[in-house]
Structure 1
Amino acid sequence: MARPLPTIVFFAGAFADPSCFNRLAALFNDAGYPTVYATALSLNPSDPADITTAKDAQHAREKVLLPLVEDENKEVVVFTHSYGGVVGGAAAAGLSKSARKAEGKKGGGVIGLLYLVGNIVCEGETLLQAVGGAYPPFIKENNPSKGLAIIDPVMEILYNDVDISLKAEMEAGMIPNALAAFETPSGPPAWAEPEFNGRRTYLKTINDQCNPLFLQDMWLQKSAVEWETVDIQTSHCPFISRPAEVADICVGIFKRWAE
C-alpha cells in the first residue's frame, strides 16, 4: 500500500478567514494532499482584551495539530501565511516527526514548515516588535471598535496584483483582528528546532506592500537558522493572484519532505 501523502495544515494571516486558501487548497487536493484549516481566536473576537498570541497558538495546537498527529497518526506540513507564521510556528513546537520518534512516540508528526511570507518572531518577542515597534499607516487601530484593527486600503496593501474584478470580494473579506495578537509575546517556535533543518522553506513575496522584502530578509537573518528560500514576483497574497504557481512550487517541496 502506498504511503499516505502528508496533510497540509493552513494557518491564515490576520484579518482573513482561512477560506482565503480555498483556491490553493483545491489544487493541493487535486495533487492528492489532504488539507485542514486552523483558526485563530484573535479573528474578530467578542472580547479583544482576552486575546493573546499564546492563546491563538495553543488553540490551533489542541484543536488541529494534536488530533492529526497523535490521534490520526498523520504526517503534517505546517503552511503559514503572514501572522499565521507566528501562530503555526508556536503551535508546532515539539511536534516534529523526528523528535516524536526519538521520544519513542508512535504515529505522525510535523515533517516540514512552509512559510509563505510568514511572520518570523523569536521566543518572547511580539509581532509588533518584529516589524519595528510601530504599526504601519495601513493598520487602522481601534477600528471598528476598541482593541480591534483593520487594514485599509485593502487592495493596494494586500492584493496589488489581483484582478480588479475581485475588488469587492477582497474588500468584503477584510475581517477585524485583535490588536493584542500583535502585542503579546510568542512562545518557542518550531522553526528554531534542529529537527527542522532541511525542512524549512520560505516563499518571499518580492512585490509585497504589507510585509516588504526588507522585513522578510531581516526576519530570515534574525532567525539564525537555515531556510530554503524561493522568490515569487507577487503581492502579499499569491494564493489569490497566482495559486497555480504557488501550488507547483509547494508540491515539489512537499514531495521532498515526504521521501
Structure 2
Amino acid sequence: MASTTKPAVLFVHGSWHNPNHFKRIMDLFEATGFPSSCPAQPSVGKLPPIGLAEDAQCIRDELKKLVEAEQKDVIVIAHSYGGIVTTQAINAEFSKKTREAKGLAGGVRRLVFMCAFLLPLGDSLGSAFGGSLPPFIPIDEQGMCLMLEPERRFYNDLSKEEQNHWTSELKPCPAIAQLTPITHAAYLHHPVTYLFCEQDEALPLSVQQMMVQKVSEETDITVETETCTAGHSPFLSQPEIVLNLIRKVTG
C-alpha cells in the first residue's frame, strides 16, 4: 500500500536572503502536512573566498540528514541563486529512483526551480548576464555584492511596509559565489519543474524562459513548467500558489 506521508520540502534560498524570508511559506507547508526546512547558506554575509562550494555542501548535508538518516522523500524548491546551489549540490545518489533500485527508502523526488537560475554545465550566474554581474549588482572593494533597488526588484508585488521589512533582512554576499561555474548538473538525475514568475523584475520572465529552453535543448531533458503572476519572491507574495504546485507534482 502506498504511503500517505507527505514528502519533506527543502527550500534553497537565493543570494542575500536567509531562512527568515521563507518562514511564511514554511509555516504554510507545515500546516498542511509538508515538513519543511531552509538551511542558512554559509556564504551570506561572509567575505570571499567562501562561496558556491560551501553553499552546495550545506545543501548536501541537509539532504544527508533528510534522505539518508531520516529516509524521507524530499521535494527541493530552489529560488534564484539557489538554483545554482541546487544544480551543483544534488548528486544522483540522492535520487528516489536510484535509492529504490538499491532497496533504500527515501530520496529526492523532484527539483522545483522557482524563478531560479537553471544553467548548463560550466556556466555561472554571471554567464546568464553575459559573463559578468550586471550593473545593478555592483561589487565592492572586499569582493562583496548586493542588489540595487531590492524593494522593486525582489518585492514589487508586496506592500511598501513589507518591501522595507524584507529588504532590511538582506545581507551582502561574496560575488565569487555568483561567478563560479557549476561542475555538476543535478537536473540530469532528477525530475524537474520550473515555476515561471511573470512579474519578476530581478530575473525577467524572458531570461527564465531562455534558460529553460537552452538547458532543454542542450541536454534533451524534459522540464515541466508552470506559470504564476508573482514577482521575484512568490514564497512571500503567493505562497499558496507554490503550495498548490507542490500538491500537483506530488499527486
Amino acid at match of 2:44: L
Stretches of structure 1 that go unaligned for 5 or more consecutive residues are none
1:40-63: CA deviation from partner (whole Å, max 9, x where unpaired): 221111x31x2232232123202x
Q: Is the 8 A contact 1:192 1:223 kept in 2?
A: no
Counterpart position of 1:82: 80
Match of 2:109 in 1: 111
Q: Structure 2: how far apart are the matches of 1:166 and 1:59?
A: 29
Q: Normalising by structure 2, what TM-score?
A: 0.92
- Residue identity opposite 1:14 in structure 2: S
Tell me the number of residue pairs that the alignment of Structure 1 and Structure 2 aligns.
245
User: What is the aligned partner in structure 2 of residue 58 from structure 1?
Assistant: 57
Provide the residue aligned with 1:186 in structure 2.
Answer: 182
In the other structure, the counterpart of 1:211 is 203
Instruction: Identify the residue that residue 26 of structure 1 maps to in structure 2.
Output: 27
Q: How does 1:237-252 map to 2 (within 5 A)?
A: 237-252=233-248
What 5-or-longer segments of structure 2 have no aligned partner?
A: none
Deviation at 1:105, TM superposition (A): 5.0
Maintained 8 Å contact 1:154/1:170: no
Any residues of structure 2 matched to 1:194-233 within 5 Å, and which? 196=190, 199-224=191-216, 225-233=221-229
Post-superposition CA distance 1:133-167 (Å, at most 9, x none) = 1322221211xx51111111111111111111213
CA positional deviation for 1:188: 1.2
Whole-angstrom CA distance in 1 between matches of 2:155 and 2:91: 31
- Pairwise CA distance, 1:66: 1.0
Computed over aligned residues only, the root mean square deviation of the Cα atoms, in angstroms, reads: 1.6
Deviations 1:186-207 (A, max 9, x none): 12121122xx3xx311100111
Q: Give the Cα–Cα distance (whole angstroms) in 2 for the partners of residues 248 and 8 of structure 1.
A: 13
SS in 1 for 2:138: strand
The secondary structure found in structure 2 opposite 1:10 is strand
2-structure distance, mates of 1:101, 1:187: 26
Cα-to-partner distance string for 1:18-59 (whole Å, 9 max, x where unaligned)? 2211111111111100001123221111x31x2232232123
Contact 1:28–1:251 (CA under 8 A) maintained in structure 2: no
Identity rate of aligned residues, in percent? 32
User: In the TM superposition, what is the alpha-carbon distance from 1:246 to its structure 2 partner?
Assistant: 2.4
Deviant stretches of 4+, over 6 Å? none
